[in-house]
Amino acid sequence: MLDTIDSHVAGFGTRKTEDCQNAVFIAMKLFNLDLPLEYKGMGRVGVECLRLYCILRNDLYIYQILEGLRFWPGSLWRWKFSKMEKYFQNIDKELEDLIKQENETASNLSSVERRKLNLDIRKLSGKAREFPRSNQSNFTGRYPKSPTRFGNVLIEYEEYSLNRYGIHMMVFWNHIKQQIPKEVKEELNLKSAIADICVYLCLASLVYIFIGPLSLLLQKDSWIMIWDHLFPLKSFLYLLLSIIAFKAFYELSITHRKNYGRLVKSIFDLYRLELAKSLGIRIKKRYHTTEEEIDEEKALWEEYQYYFLDYNLLHKKFASSFEELDEI
C-alpha cells in the first residue's frame, strides 16, 4: 500500500502538502475499492462516486424490487402477474393472426401493405422475445414468469443457455467469463454499468414518487391559491414529474438490460466450447443442425453440472475426460 501511494504521489502533480494529501486520499480509496490507479484522474469526488457505485452494484435488492421478488404484497403480485399474462396473451394472439394473414394473403398484398405487415410482425416478435421460453402450448412457445417486464427480460436471457445448450447460467457464468477476451469483458462491464445506472435512477424516481410530493404537501408555502381555494399545485407537479421520470428510466432499464442480455447470450454461443475444453467436456460442434445434436450437448452439460458441486463425484465420473484433455 505504501509503495502504491509513493508511486502515485510522484505522478500526481507537485509535492505540495495539499497535492500529497489528495494523492494519498485517492490512492487509499482506490486501494480499498480494489481498483487500479488509472482511475486517479477522477479526483476526490470521483472516487467517492465510485465508492457509492461499488456499494450499489452489490445490492441485489434493487433489482429484486423491480423483478417483483422482494417487498411485493401477495395480492399486488398476483394482480400484476394476471395483467402481465393478459398483456402477453394479446401479443401472442396478435402475432399468430398476423403470421396467418401473411401466409394466406401475401400474394394479394401490395408492396406497401406487405412492408407494413412485416413491420407489425417484427414489432410484435420483439415484444414476445422479452418473455422467457416455456412449455405452454401457445404460438410463440413463451410465457411470463415475472409480474414485470423487467423481470421477464432478465429471466429470458438468464435461462437462454439452459434452454439452448443445457448450461445452467448460475453454475457456469463465472467460469465462462474466464474464457472470454479482455475487450469482450470490458464491453460486458460497460453494458452492465449503464444498465445499473438506469436501474438505480428508476428506483430513485419510484421512491421520490411517494416522498417528494408528500414532503411538499406538508409545507404550507407549497400550496397555491386558485379560485379562492388552496391547492397543492407544486406537490402535484412533482408527482407528475416523478412518474414521468420513473417511466422513462424504467424503459431505459429494460432496453439496456436487453442489450446486456444479448451479449450474455452471444458469449454462451461463441465461448462455450472453450469452457467445455477447459472442463474436459467433449463437444463436437459449435452450432448444431439436428435435434439429436442439440440433445446430445444438453445431456453432457446437464450431467456435468449435476456432479459439479461435488468434486469426488465429478472426478470419478469424468476422470477419463480429464485424462483425454491432458493428452491434447
| Residues 102, 35 share a domain | no
Say what the pLDDT of residue 239 is: 79
Q: Are residues 142 and 255 in the same domain?
A: no
Residues 120 and 84 in one domain: yes
Q: Which of 9-23, 289-303, 307-321 has the lowest mean pLDDT?
A: 9-23
Do residue 50 and residue 79 come from a single domain? no
Question: Do 83 and 51 sit in the same domain of this protein?
Answer: no
- Whole-number Å distance between alpha carbons of 152 and 156: 6
Range with the poorest average pLDDT among 36-40, 106-110, 132-136, 221-225: 36-40
**63 lies in a domain?**
no
- 322 and 182 in a common domain: yes
Domain extent, residue 36, equals: 2-58
Q: Rounded to 5 degrees, what are φ and ψ at 238? A: -65, -40
The residues, ordered by sequence, that sit 6+ positions from 118 with a Cβ below 8 Å of its Cβ are 102
Residue 161: inside a domain: no
300's grid cell: 453432457
Mean pLDDT score across all residues of the chain? 78
- All three cell numbers of 72, joined, read 411485493
Strand partners, 133: 142
156 inside domain? no
Helices (H), the chain: 2-10, 17-32, 43-57, 60-67, 74-105, 111-128, 149-158, 160-165, 169-177, 182-217, 233-279, 291-306, 311-317, 319-327
Same domain, 125 and 205: no
Total number of domains constituting the chain: 3
Residues 180 and 143 in one domain: no
| Confidence category of residue 53, pLDDT binned at 50, 70, 90 | very low
For residues 320 and 178, membership in a common domain is answered with yes
- Regarding whether 188 and 125 lie in a shared domain, the answer is no
In this structure, the answer to whether residues 134 and 252 fall within a common structural domain is: no
Q: Element (H or E) spanning 230, and its range?
A: strand 229-231
Span 88-132, pLDDT tens digits? 999 999 999 999 998 888 778 888 888 999 999 999 999 999 999
